[in-house]
Structure 1
């Protein structure tokens, strides 16, 4: 199951335009001085709805405004908005400029839940890479995962998809407990999680990805093999933040 994500790029658009994507919809808006996008829980009153069923998300939780050639995000809600590198943007703080390209915003909600709002500011080339007519053709970098492999790796690598600072994979045992909650009909155990991860590591290692076998990382190994695997999957956009919706069926 693959979910649309701006992390994989955007169609050609006007330079300086912003693309906003949540689970509830997508908006593309060109640059114009003073132009503002509102986002929050109250679908009739905002341009981008996020956290629609979560009463901890403010009805208008924030705004995105185009000023002096840049898009600026401001928090108008009660709970903070988390930006990459775990930076928190609180209500009434100075707005933060968005850089060209992709920026995920995480809107805090109830029970430590975070609702993803993806932003993409289109650069001078209109959102598309420059033409390279004579360059050697390169294979697609995204890797194929089975539905079971994707679910296991999203659970194991959720901290990477949340763009935490210096993320680490959760333990196999913890992953098995989450998977058992998601799929109570399946006999999830730590050994089964390890088997799925080992299969993916072996397959990608055979396809030339470095750092997925013990001989390539040295001792002590620790979490290095799984960390390298998850970083490869995120950097290649095989796993993207919108895949976290797979965890939304967890109880409480």
Structure 2
């Protein structure tokens, strides 16, 4: 389902945003919202056809975007993606570390290849991307914003066969806190968003295995991605100048289950 873009109250004109996992789900939504708010956007993911279609859509709306093929399991791709974004659009001042995958299996049934893949995409990739962006910001003496996408699963594991996913998202929260301290003197704010169960391509795949989970939610519904817009814009905009090392839980009350 498509949702209207917000009437942007945060002006990101002159900012360059890089969004990982931008080919679908929340990443696609984040890219559209940032572009609608005036940012130039680097779209990074594996599925280049989807990225090109999104870039064309953003350009048709008067924005500026570039599609960059990137495999989040490959360190060289991650480093190259930041360099390509900078070459095309300028120094990346906003990073949204969104790419992620569920493990979708009980812990004792996971093979080591899947374990490595989940760890690489959900934890190693955000670290590498954050460091690459921060190095360039520090060298250019530019302030910046990094937003890591965690999950309500970082705080609450429901026993649904995604134990490692929960562990990696908890680590993303800690990553956010430590890098915020590391780079605070450089005026690089590092924060996280922990969504609950929001409609997305990834969640749809999980629901095929888990069934309808909405009736177990406090408000008997799944969230829609537009409900994350204001949190994202707050964290990347000037209003959050003194906010760093924080994880904002946008979970529709799911933490109280």
TM over 0.5: no
Q: Which of the five TM-score ranges fits, normalised by the shorter chain?
A: under 0.3
Q: TM-score, normalised by structure 1?
A: 0.23
Q: Higher strand proportion, which one?
A: 1
Larger radius of gyration: 1
Q: TM-score, normalised by structure 2?
A: 0.23
